[in-house]
Amino acid sequence: VNRNPHETEFHQAVFEFVETVMPYYLDHRKYMDARILERMTEPDRIVSFRVTWEDDQGVPHANKGFRVQFNSSMGPYKGGLRFDPSVNASILKFLGFEQTFKNALTRLPMGGGKGGANFNPKGRSDAEIMRFCHSMMTELHRHIGESVDVPAGDIGVGAREIGYLFGKYKQLAHFYTGGVITGKGIPYGGSEIRKEATGYGVVVFTEEMLKKHGKTMNGKTVAISGSGNVAIYAVQRAMRMGAKVVTVSDSRGFAHVPNGFTDESFAVLQDVKENRRESLAKFASEARGATYHAGKSPWTVPCDVGLPCATQNEIDEQMAATMVKNGIMCLSEGANMPLTAQAIHVLKDADVIFGPAKAANAGGVGCSGLEQAQNAQRLSWTRDQVEQELERIMRSIHEQCVEYAPVRSGIVDYQTGANVSSFARVADAMLAFGYI
């Protein structure tokens, strides 16, 4: 706390990690003697810069851009870019820290990083978004590279933004290196399944957790928050597993679909959010059986399985208590840190099966790793190949968690499993390098 004053999100992420890893740490002197925890909670470096751009009225604006290069023990830095007015060093450090361990769980050669800008893309025209992305890359390109640091998307950065960012990189670098950024469009080096990967991966991981406890997604009522990249494909994959998906949300409220999404209402969701970039209220007005509840949280709706896929700290202690009262039995984090530390305790104390973000949402970066592999091979794999590989990665992450997880009242503690397993991997690499 003294080293990083006022960085509340970063403190929260580190405390959550350290709380579960400490018994293992204290049991292994080699880590303590090398002060591994102290070292791995400090990023390798942070670059911060000005992003100047011009709006459609010719007015100049200046935003703050960042790249946090957290830890490269496992490989080149890897992690998304977030465009949101809330972006600051604390949020990106929490995300970069989490990313380091998440990437270690995929077992692909990827270190951890994160970046972005405090830019609000909402209400901006396509031309403004393009100018912003081009200006952002004009500085960012000095700090990234196929073997150095490989960004991708996150909140506010989807396929359109990645296209503009990659285009500018290509122009500035003067050579074509597809592997410098992931989440690219399929025609210029992107991977099949990448846009679906995080949402699909969350559902695959959740099914693995349920199977381990003698249950399944089939027939379960599932509540989902968010209606962005992760949420949309979590809805689709949960439907494929035979679940009844009853909610999606955005920053202004949630849509309730009491009888569950159908292929028809899912197609409306995709069209409204992905193609037309309109509001969720618009979705509810067009989809049969859906209603929109402004200013309300989806977590008041009873469900068996919860998949928060919007943003950090959307579920606090009280909300978690409501979910337990309403009968939730499993929750997997699609978003990064969607639960406060107290909310996690409430769920775990009530024997809810809990899938932490590090493990549950690693499918996105896992598939980004597969995109890099395809770019390096100068090949494109088929949809089936990528999806099978993604599922293999998610099942392997589940196994790694189980290997390190204590079991309490018959419930596997995936949070401790994910943290200890990934800690050991990163720590062993850092030990091998000596004091650097």
Residue nearest to ligand NDP (CB): 228
How many C-beta atoms surround the C-beta of residue 142 within 10 A? 12
DSSP-H helix ranges across 335-409: 341-349, 357-360, 363-377, 383-404
Site for ligand NDP in 203-232 (CB under 6 A): 226-231
**Which residue is it, tokens 């995109």?**
371
DSSP assignment, residue 271? I
CA dist 101 and 129 (Å) reads: 31
Question: Residue 250, interface with ligand NDP (CB under 6 A)?
Answer: yes
Q: Residue 85 contacts by C-beta under 8 Å, 6 or more apart in sequence?
A: 118, 119, 120
Judged by CB under 6 A, which of 135, 198, 236, 421 binds ligand NDP?
A: 198
Give the containing element (helix H, strand E) for 83. Answer: strand 77-83
Is residue 348 annotated as part of the catalytic site, yes or no? Answer: no
Interaction mask 2-41, ligand NDP, x per CB under 6 A: ----------------------------------------
CA dist 361 and 335 (Å) reads: 7
Site for ligand NDP in 305-364 (CB under 6 A): 309-311, 314, 334-336, 361, 364
Q: Residue 422 contacts by C-beta under 8 Å, 6 or more apart in sequence?
A: 100, 101, 102, 104, 105, 358, 400
Cβ distance to ligand NDP smaller for residue 91 or 430: 91
Cβ distance to ligand NDP smaller for residue 190 or 427: 190
Cβ distance to ligand NDP smaller for residue 36 or 362: 362
How many residues bind ligand NDP (CB under 6 A)? The answer is 24
Closest C-alpha among 21, 175, 125, 103 to residue 365? 103
Cβ distance to ligand NDP smaller for residue 231 or 323: 231
**Which residue is it, tokens 């290997």?**
403
Shortest distance, position 279 Cβ to ligand NDP, whole Å: 7
Three-state secondary-structure class, residue 436: coil
Cβ distance to ligand NDP smaller for residue 168 or 273: 273
Instruction: Write down the catalytic residue from 78, 93, 102, 114.
Output: 114
Interaction mask 136-175, ligand NDP, x per CB under 6 A: -----------------xxxx-x-----------------
Q: Which residues are catalytic?
A: 114
- Chain residues binding ligand NDP by CB under 6 A are 153-156, 158, 198, 226-231, 250-252, 309-311, 314, 334-336, 361, 364
